[in-house]
Amino acid sequence: MIQPFDSLMLRTLLGPSVAALQLFALYVLMHGHYSPGGGFPAGILLAASMILPLLVKGRGAAWRTLSPRGAVTLTAAGVLLYALVGVASLLLGGTMLDYSWLPFGDDVANRRSLGILLIEVGVTIGVAGAMVSIFYSLAGDIGQEGGD
Amino acid sequence: MILYVIKVLVVLLAVTALAVVRVRDLFALVLLLSVFSGLFGTLLALMGAPDVAFTEGVVGSSVSTIFFMALLWRIDPLALTRASVPRRLVSWIPAVAIGALLLYGVDALPVFGEPTAPPTTYLSPEYIDRAYGDTRTPNVVTAILADYRSFDTLIEATVVLTAALACLLVLQRKHDPTV
């Protein structure tokens, strides 16, 4: 059961927190090549930014967050993106997940760098969807659009 | 200095673990588990594994706490009863045995930061040498995870998908009045 929790502070802080979380998630994802982070933590942060409105406003509120069905779809889409990158490098002449065969410019190392970014995006999407989906499963009210 | 802080953190970890075992209130238990993960993440960061520390921070002390809280809504605290003494003994025996086994095995591990230890001499230097030239990725951990061992990470992603699907299948209840 997800119910709104009426608190002025929570409601006021919700917007800025969600914005900060999503910005930070994006930073962690894009900066994974240079600093700690990458797809997995970025996905968790993104999921947190989608779970937070549910916790504060409840399912019934007009917050356009992910639906249970959308969460599962997003998870599958993330894993699919990852697998497709692997299959693409396979079809382009290399071995599975060998990014140096992807068509991203002339420099082999740069191609591999961009390949890493691409699969990290897949991991982020997949993990974010999975976490939101698990939260819905645990908190109940699955399939009950609009909530209480 | 860092070694001193690490020692303090290990003691705090042990105290938190004991508190987790002893505490009776479920809400306090969830918060203590979060504290445990936070301390453990700090420990990992101090020991030079910031990537693992970051993941421990966001998964262990944040999202899993939210999941446990979501579960607490479903549990009637009055319906919980304490297990009988023989049952508790049965669960204590393997716990103590595994703990003793791990303590026994600690002796065989290389000293932390030892430059001649197998983990620092075998394979790691090669990754550190080659990663930037191969992939233009200064963070060697990312290069290993997402390039050299990309298969691993792909299967890991499918594990996450499977976990989400399993939770959905096991926990999904459509208007079941008993839940």
| Alpha carbons within 13 A on the beta-carbon side of B142 | 33
C-alpha distances out from residue A100 to A85, A109, B127, B143, B145, Å:
11, 7, 17, 13, 16
Does this complex have an ipTM over 0.85? yes
CB-CB neighbors (< 8 A) of B74 in chain A: 1, 138-140
pLDDT at residue A142, rounded to an integer: 38
pLDDT tens sequence across B94-150: 999 999 999 999 988 888 878 888 888 888 899 999 999 999 999 999 999 999 999
Percent over 70 (pLDDT), chain B: 96
Q: Across the interface, do B161 and A130 touch by the CB < 8 Å criterion?
A: yes
* Chain B nearest CA to A112, separation (Å): 5
Entry field: residues in chain A: 148
Question: Which residue in A45, A119, A142 is closest to B150 by CB distance?
Answer: A119
Q: Supply the mean pLDDT for chain A.
A: 86
Question: Choosing among B34, B51, B129, B161, which should be mutated to test the A contact, i.e. which has the most A CBs within 10 A?
Answer: B161
**Distances A30 to A45, A55, A87, B155 between C-alpha atoms, Å:** 13, 28, 23, 22
| Confidence at residue A4, expressed as pLDDT on a 0 to 100 scale | 62
For residue B70, give the nearest of A47, A126, A139 by CB distance. Answer: A139
pLDDT of residue B56: 94
Q: What is the pLDDT of residue A113?
A: 92
User: Which chain B residues are Cβ-neighbours of A122 within 8 angstroms?
Assistant: 157
* Inter-chain touch A113–B135, beta carbons under 8 Å: yes
* Residue-level pLDDT at A145: 44
Query: Per-residue confidence at B171, pLDDT binned at 50, 70, 90?
Result: confident
Q: What letter would DSSP give residue A64? A: -
Domain ranges of chain A: 8-139
Domain boundaries, chain B: 1-76, 114-179
Summarised one tens digit per residue, pLDDT across range B4-35 is 999 999 999 999 999 998 888 888 999 999 99
Residues of chain A with Cβ-Cβ distance to B164 below 8 Å are 71-72, 75, 129-131, 133-134, 137
Q: Is A32 within 8 Å of B139 when comparing Cβ atoms? A: yes
For residue A148, what pLDDT is reported? 38
Q: For residues B148 and B127, is the Cβ–Cβ distance under 8 A?
A: yes
Contact A125, A81 (CB under 8 A): yes
Would you state the pLDDT for residue A121? 95
The residue of chain A with its CA nearest to that of B166 is A134
Instruction: Give me the residues of chain A with pLDDT under 50, please.
Output: 1, 142-148
Distance between CA A134 and CA B52 in Å, rounded? 22
Residues of A within 8 A of B138 (CB-CB) are: 33-34
Give the pLDDT of residue A143.
Answer: 37
- SS3 of chain B: the string is CHHHHHHHHHHHHHHHHHHHHHCCCHHHHHHHHHHHHHHHHHHHHHCCCHHHHHHHHHHHHHHHHHHHHHHHHHCCHHHCCCCCHHHHHHHHHHHHHHHHHHHHHHCCCCCCCCCCCHHHHCCHHHHHHHHHHHHCCCCHHHHHHHHHCHHHHHHHHHHHHHHHHHHHHHHCCCCCCCC
pLDDT-derived band at B179 (thresholds 50, 70, 90) equals: very low
If one compares B63 and A7, the residue with the highest pLDDT of the two is B63
pLDDT at A141: 57
Q: Does B173 sit within 8 Å of A32, measured CB to CB?
A: no
pLDDT-derived band at B76, boundaries 50, 70, 90: confident
Taking CB atoms and an 8 Å limit, are B58 and A144 in contact across chains?
Answer: no
